[in-house]
Amino acid sequence: MNQVAENIAFIREKITGAAKECGRDPGAVQLVAVSKRQDDDRIDAALAAGQRLFGENKVQEAQAHWQARRESYPDLRLHLIGPLQTNKVKDAVALFDCIETLDREKLALKLAEEMAAQGRDLPCFIQVNTGAELQKAGILPEYLGEFHDYCRYECGLDVQGLMCIPPADEPAALHFALLAKLAQEQGLLELSMGMSADFEKAIALGATYVRVGTALFGSRD
Ligand SMILES: *Cc1c(COP(=O)(O)O)cnc(C)c1O
């Protein structure tokens, strides 16, 4: 499992290089290791290599991966990067440290209620459907301003940034640039964008979080 440690070192080097190349501080880009559908050995190897920030896209799988490990790693941080159903909000608020997939009013309200009930104030990112794809989650760009206001002022959520997953068949850079422009308009500082294939491009366009799975852990089940 030294391979995972090697991959992490390699990706960190690439992050640093991409940031420097465009005059950004490499420390301003955080690596979210996407551990969905990876086996225990690989996850433990990433932890042994010092990685502490992880992303998961399903609540139940995240519990299986992290509930016990959390206790040994108090500095662990978990981001939810997949769609969240309202009936899983309670478990999600209990487990995660950041919700990256805030995408509808019903969910915003439920998250706010549950955070209040549990006394946890989690930062959230709004997921934007930059490609306006029917099958994809996320708020459409034209409704972002209204939705952001709702999350912030009606629900009192701590919205810190935006997240997107570009369409597979279009140049990702166009979507990263759009997300950066939308964040600027909204006065939001965090940008979660870029995956294994395109995280360097995302950094050039302002990513503060890159979500890397296969390039770090190897291919998934
Ligand atoms: C799986 C996933 C990733 C990681 O994708 P890789 O191509 O394996 O790096 C990033 N973001 C989201 C939302 C994902 O679901």
The full set of domains in the chain, from first to last, is 2-217 (3.20.20.10)
pLDDT grade, residue 1 (50/70/90)?
Answer: low
Cα–Cα distance measured from residue 172 to residue 166, given in angstroms and rounded to the nearest whole number = 6
Residue 212, beta-bridge partner list: 33
C-alpha closest to that of 157 among 197, 82, 209, 101: 101
Euclidean distance between the first and the last CA atom of the chain, given in angstroms as a whole number: 16
Percent of residues in the chain assigned helix, strand, coil, to nearest 5 = 50, 15, 35
> Which ligand 1 atom is the nearest neighbour of the CA of 32?
10
Q: Which of 11, 133, 176, 211 to mutate to test the pocket of ligand 1 (most atoms within 8 A of CB)?
A: 211
pLDDT confidence of residue 221: 80
Contact between 161 and 118 under an 8 Å Cβ cutoff? The reply is no
3-state secondary structure of 43: helix
Indicate if the pLDDT at residue 40 is higher than 90: yes
Q: Which of 35, 81, 210 to mutate to test the pocket of ligand 1 (most atoms within 8 A of CB)?
A: 81
What does the pLDDT average to over 197-207?
98
Cα–Cα distance measured from residue 166 to residue 14, given in angstroms and rounded to the nearest whole number = 21
Indicate if the pLDDT at residue 65 is higher than 70: yes
Contact between 85 and 120 under an 8 Å Cβ cutoff? The reply is no
Q: What is the pTM of this model?
A: 0.97
Cα–Cα distance measured from residue 175 to residue 130, given in angstroms and rounded to the nearest whole number = 6
3-state secondary structure of 130: coil
- Each residue of 95-128: pLDDT tens digit? 999 999 999 999 999 999 999 999 999 999 999 9
| Distances from the Cα of 50 to the Cα of 11, 19, 43, 53, angstroms | 13, 21, 11, 9
User: How much of the chain exceeds pLDDT 70, in percent?
Assistant: 100
Cα 117 to ligand 1 centre (Å): 31
Cα 165 to ligand 1 centre (Å): 8
- Each residue of 160-184: pLDDT tens digit? 999 999 999 999 999 999 999 999 9
Indicate if the pLDDT at residue 198 is higher than 70: yes
Cα 57 to ligand 1 centre (Å): 9
| Both tokens assigned to 6 | 């090697």
Tell me what the pLDDT averaged over the chain comes to: 97
pLDDT grade, residue 38 (50/70/90)?
Answer: very high
